[in-house]
Each structure stands twice: as C-alpha cells, then as structure tokens.
Structure 1
Amino acid sequence: MFLLLFGGLSLSGFSQETAPKEAVTDEELKKFATVEVMTSEYVDKKTLELREMILNNEVIEGGARYNEIKAAWGDAAKEAEIKLTAEEKIAYQAIKDFQDSLQQSVIDFKTDLIKDDAVLGVSTYNKVNGAIKGDPALKEKLDQLVAEMKVKKDGV
C-alpha cells in the first residue's frame, strides 16, 4: 500500500546549492538516515491507524466487508448487489478520506524534519541527497546505516 507512497515522495523541490561539492561527513549521513528512519516509523504508525480504522469500524465490521465495499465503490450496480447501506457509505468514505490524506501527511512530516536545522536542515539534505544520487557506494552506506538504526530501534 505504501510502496506507492514512497515512490511518489519526492522532495527535490528544495533548491540545489551551486557551491562546490564537499564530501559528506558521517554526521551528515547519520542525520539523513535518522530522517529516513523517523519517516519510516511515521508511515508505520499511520498504516497501523488505517488498519485499526478498518478492522475496528463498528459500521463496516471488519476487513472482509471493507474489501467488499472497496471492490464495489463507485459502481452503483455493484453497490446495490452487495447491499451497501448509507451508513456504510459514510464510514467507508471517512476511511478513504484518511487513506487519501496519508501521502500528503507523510510528505509534510518529512519536509518538516528536513527544514528543521536541529534535525537535518535543507542544505544538509540537499548535499547528502545529491551525493547519494551520484555515488552508489555512499547510497549503499546510507542504506546500511538506516537498516542498522531500524534494528537498534526495534530491539532486534
């Protein structure tokens, strides 16, 4: 579900600096990795919220009915066939609205982290992001750092 979310998440709108390229420090890479981990945790939290909304909805009463409504949604004949009630329509729409807002919510969350100089900062983001695009070894180092940070946070 959220693969599309990350695929669509692009913060390249931040202006790229034209200063000569400096080497990325371990501290800068760690800050960048921290933002990636925090964003991943935020997505996990929101995914859990969405799951709970679906499974604990008193009107829809679980995932099976949710999937049935989702498959019929927008097709009057199919909605009639599954006997979709007005209450179910309202409940499903509320879940759908939450789901539709998730991508923007994640973008806003990550953007706020990037803009916060205490967390990362736009100039550091641009520097590291540009460097990992041009250096596969640095990208691999970042990926390993993110994986290690996730393991430490999960206590695995």
Structure 2
Amino acid sequence: MKKLFGLAFLFVGLIGFNAQAQDEAAEEITDEEIAKFAAMEDSVMAFYEQKNAELVSMIKDNEVIDGAGRYNEIKGAWDDEAKLAEIEITDEEKVAYEAILEFMGSLSTEVREMKIGLIKNDEVLGISTFNKVNKAMKANPEIKEKVDSEIAELKEKRSTEEEESPSDAG
C-alpha cells in the first residue's frame, strides 16, 4: 500500500489462467485474437487510469489534508505515533487519510476483478483465447510485439479521442 503509483503494474501478469492449456502454443494466433487481447488490456488500462486520476484528485483536492504536500507528510509518519504527534495530525486528517488508503486498497481489487471479468467473458476475450495469446506472447517475441503495438495504437486512439472531446458535462 505504500507504493501509490506502483499499482499500475500490479495487475500486469497478475492473472495466470493456466487451466486447460491444451497444445494452444502450437495453434496459430490470429489478428482477431491479438485485437481482442489488446482491446481487453486497453480497457483495463483505461479503467485503471480513470481510477488513478480519481485517487490523485482525492489527494490534491482534499480540503482536510490540504494537498499533496500534507498528504506526503502524513504518509511518511503514518506508522509512527511519535511522528504523527510531531506533525500535529488532526483526527479529521486521520479520517481523510484512512479514506484515501481504503480507496487505494480497493483500486487494485477493482482492476483485477474487471480484468478477470473481461477475460472470462467469451464475447470480449474468453479464457481459452487469453491463455492462447498469453502463452504465445511468452514463447514468441513477434507475437508479443504485435500485441504491444496493438495496445499502443489503442491507447493513442483513446488519448486522441479524449483530447478531442473533453468532458464539459456539469
């Protein structure tokens, strides 16, 4: 929990659906399978980025903690009662900081559950396709490069769309 931004990489490789990996390595990986795998990964990354933005906003815009500087001060003293007394933490700040910690803890769980749901959904990807592509990526650098390239294209497209249509709702 102490590594706020390390969560991005927690879910990468977190899931290892290795059940029934019957000779899938020998099978050819289609462009459609690569596209589905990449779309799933991009969806998970987009969800993570949204949740991470919420977390950053929760810290920066927190009226009780009063910004990232105070947050970092509390974070550095959190497990040490003497340091907490030294920085004169208030009860309100403790409650606000605990809410942030709770959100951080739920973040990795939400991302993992979302990814598992997409993998298990045969209309999105399916476990057998996930296993097949994941195994092929590990065995064949060309497949990994194709998947990474497809993910990068999807991310670029998503970034461009977000820039073109900023959310003015509200």
TM-score (norm 2): 0.86
Q: 1:84 to 1:45 in 2, by over 3 A?
A: same
Unpaired runs of 5+ residues, structure 2, are: 162-170
The one of 67, 70, 81 aligned to 1:65: 70
Counterpart of 1:134, as a letter, is: A
- In 1: Cα distance, 2:10 partner to 2:143 partner: 20
Residue 15 of structure 2 corresponds to 11
Quick check: 1:86 aligned with 2:91? Answer: yes
Q: Which string of whole-angstrom CA distances, capped at 9 and with x for unpartnered residues, describes residues 21-77 of structure 1?
A: 310100000000001111110110010010111112121111111111001101011
- In 2: Cα distance, 1:34 partner to 1:117 partner: 13
Counterpart of 1:41, as a letter, is: A
Unpaired runs of 5+ residues, structure 1, are: none
Equivalent residue of 2:62, what SS?
Answer: coil
Equivalent residue of 1:110, what SS?
Answer: helix
Deviation at 1:87, TM superposition (A): 0.9
The one of 116, 124, 135 aligned to 2:129: 124
- In 1: Cα distance, 2:34 partner to 2:99 partner: 39
Residue 157 of structure 2 corresponds to 152
Deviation at 1:4, TM superposition (A): 4.6
Counterpart of 2:29, as a letter, is: V
Deviation at 1:17, TM superposition (A): 2.1
Residue 99 of structure 1 corresponds to 104
Quick check: 1:29 aligned with 2:34? Answer: yes
CA RMSD between the two structures = 1.6
- In 1: Cα distance, 2:19 partner to 2:8 partner: 22
Residue 164 of structure 2 corresponds to none
Aligned length: 156
Residue 47 of structure 1 corresponds to 52
Q: Is the 8 A contact 1:14 1:122 kept in 2?
A: no
Deviation at 1:2, TM superposition (A): 3.8
Q: Is the 8 A contact 1:73 1:79 kept in 2?
A: yes
- In 1: Cα distance, 2:95 partner to 2:151 partner: 40
